[in-house]
Structure 1
């Protein structure tokens, strides 16, 4: 495996070099970098022209300029990169650091959401083939895949930002809208859970009544501007995660797995009161420390309760601890939604990745950082969601028809074990290829999204470099996206070996 990885790294490096030469060449000869100054009547135009020639090394042939750039990139091996300056004299490396952090946080979140939601929808659609849920997922997938990115972005700016900001100033949901939303929730949940007609009617009716009642309650207490979960809902979320994880791993065969998770929740409740001051006014190191403590407690709990399934008990307890920590963080975020609205009455901006000169406590700062991610993240997630759901559905349908799956069923294994331990692992092998290409592709696709939402990320850097016929920013964009493509493909190769041990040979 090591020889294979080293060989792939060598081939990938060679391809990156060839691609960089080609991109540098076409960028340099795509126009005249001095055209705007040649037509300018500004008295300082000659001085500006000399400065630009000096910054871009225009007196040198293109291959010499490429070599100078390559030598600067080679210094990255010693963590001393030198990417030069752009046409305006600004250091490209510092601009790249800022742009890459902005784009990567956007693309990473969108990729994770698309993977989780898309694969889950694909699995459920395959299990319930030709059901109403399957048809709905298929229709939504083709719809999302066909929508132009810029059009979706403009719609989200209108309804997700402008109209939402108007609504949140005096929030309220009419009775008609409440009933419609509740019925849609009931139909969706009934279709998702499946069963015969009687079970679907009962599930749908109960879910619709619950949703309608919850929205009426939220409306009456002004929850939309002063929301919170409370310790009760935090515990309920953690218990739900414990039950789901236990069912997916061992079902009802070993209740000690559930006891380990419940013990983790009990210790988490104690920690909720012990670390209350840290929770209300944290820092990122404190959050990581509390999460590490929760994981350590989960490992001890799983080890003590696990019996012959210690490994599974530990992982289920860790998942439960993460769910408890996530629900606790969500509760604090919701509690600080009101203070955030006081500082920023129109919370979601249509331009930019954050409010300039925003000041506030930790959680309100997280709101300012996070709400600007919502709209562009939704756009990029929708782009990838269709591909993940369709490929996962097709892969699952092909896998569950294999002989070894029929053999597993004939041995009397439960459908949960057949799907999670036999079919899903093999169905995920082709999906890893999509993940590898999609991550690098999303960085390139973010150019349009960032342009619509006014993000100062990799897309803006790439676009400005092309407009000014400046290869420096363009090559910085290529350096990040090319490296991301190589690394993601390498991770995909390693994931192949994990999912199918036969690949290791």
Structure 2
């Protein structure tokens, strides 16, 4: 198992390098980072433009700029920013906010997908199955930003109606921050409710369909029929045999959709005005800050690669027939 982990990590190195270089090319070609500075009135002096060009390494060839960025990451230097921020420090503060949201949304979405998919498979072609199918397609067709806006507006209306802030609609924490561990945890969880619902509802819909189809296929397999013939109870067959095997496709889909969750978190954080990776990315794109965008993409890609490695390792836990030699 350890050798397999090492091989997988070594295989991801060229993937990260090639992917980051391709992204660096596209981001660099997206626009001039000094465009806003050049458009200022009165015009800035040529000396200032030359100094900024040198500071942002725009006077270097593209391959040298990429090499300086890549080698700087190893030393903890994330590159110069257009807005003169410390990119590494800023990402370090914001990444935990976004990871917290994505992790909670993923847990809720997986639990919902398991329950809905299992009930739909057991009661297929029933009113419950059709109802869950309609709900799934409704969530699939509803954009995340639209659901977030609707949910936020409804929460504001409820708060106004009762005269008490039952739901937090702005920010990832209160200002000023509460004192004490229990109050801090309660405040963080309270701000997580609405954004987590948005991300979880948009993610669980396709996952529940995968669970439903997988369980239906497993229930028709020979070893499940044998388990029933041996006299095992219906619940035991579903949980210990059918559901465990059906979790393998779900694990694959969740690992692949982690990047989609992060993209949805960008929109959700913007609607609820969170100070996470979403607002950081949007600001970097608006300012055409190449190194800030690259830092965001690098962190998210590493998280996705790590989670997919964990998903591969879970295969052996879910199915004893799989051996990672």
Matching of residues 418-429 of structure 1 within 5 Å? 418-429=237-248
Corresponding residue pairs, total: 324
> Judging changes above 3 Å, is the alpha-carbon distance between structure 1 residues 432 and 82 closer, same or farther for their aligned structure 2 residues?
same
Would you say the 8 A contact 1:55–1:88 is kept in 2? Answer: no
The equivalences for 1:82-93 within 5 A come to: 82-93=77-88
Unaligned runs of 5+ in 2: none
Change (3 A) 1:95 1:145: same
Deviation at 1:68, TM superposition (A): 1.1
- SS of equivalent residue, structure 1 residue 412: coil
Aligned partners of 1:440, 1:500: CA distance in 2, in Å?
25
CA RMSD of aligned residues (A): 2.0
What is the distance in 1 between the residues matched to 2:41 and 2:219? 72
Q: TM-score, normalization: structure 2?
A: 0.93
CA distance in 1, matches of 2:261, 2:252: 14
Q: 1:94-130: per-residue Cα shift (whole Å, max 9, x none)? A: 1001111111001010001101121121112111222
1:429 and 1:496 in contact (8 A); partners too: yes
Q: Deviations along 1:442-492, whole A, 9 cap, x unmatched?
A: 112212222222222112222222222221111111111111121111111
User: TM-score, normalising length from structure 1?
Assistant: 0.61
SS of equivalent to 1:502: coil
Q: Which stretches of structure 1, 4 residues or longer, exceed 4 Å deviation after superposition? A: 42-48
Q: Show structure 1 runs of 5+ residues with no match.
A: 76-80, 170-344
Aligned to 2:9: 9
The answer for the alignment partner of 1:183 in structure 2 is none
Structure 1 partner of 2:287: 468
Partner of 2:159: 165
CA distance in 1, matches of 2:41, 2:308: 51
Supply the distance in 2 between the matched residues of 1:16 and 1:490 (Cα, whole angstroms). 14
Q: Is the CA contact (8 Å cut-off) linking 1:52 and 1:88 kept in structure 2?
A: no
Q: How far 1:59 sits from its partner (Å)?
A: 2.0
Are 2:101 and 2:195, in contact at CA under 8 Å, matched by a contact in 1?
yes
Preserved contact between residue 444 and residue 481 of structure 1 (Cα < 8 Å): no
Match of residue 274 from structure 2? 455
Larger Rg: 1
Match of 1:52 in 2: 52
After superposition, where does 1:274-285 map in structure 2 within 5 Å? Answer: none
Which residue pairs with 1:63 in the alignment? 63
Q: Deviation of residue 137 (structure 1)?
A: 1.1
Decide which of 107, 116, 123 is 2:118's aligned counterpart. 123
Cα 1:42–1:455 change in 2 (3 A) is farther
* Shift in Å, 1:74: 2.5
1:366 matches 2:192: no
Displacement of 1:499 in angstroms is: 1.4
In the other structure, the counterpart of 1:408 is 227
Does 1:30 find its partner at 2:21? Answer: no
Please say if residues 37 and 44 of structure 2, whose CA atoms lie closer than 8 Å, have aligned partners that are also in contact: no
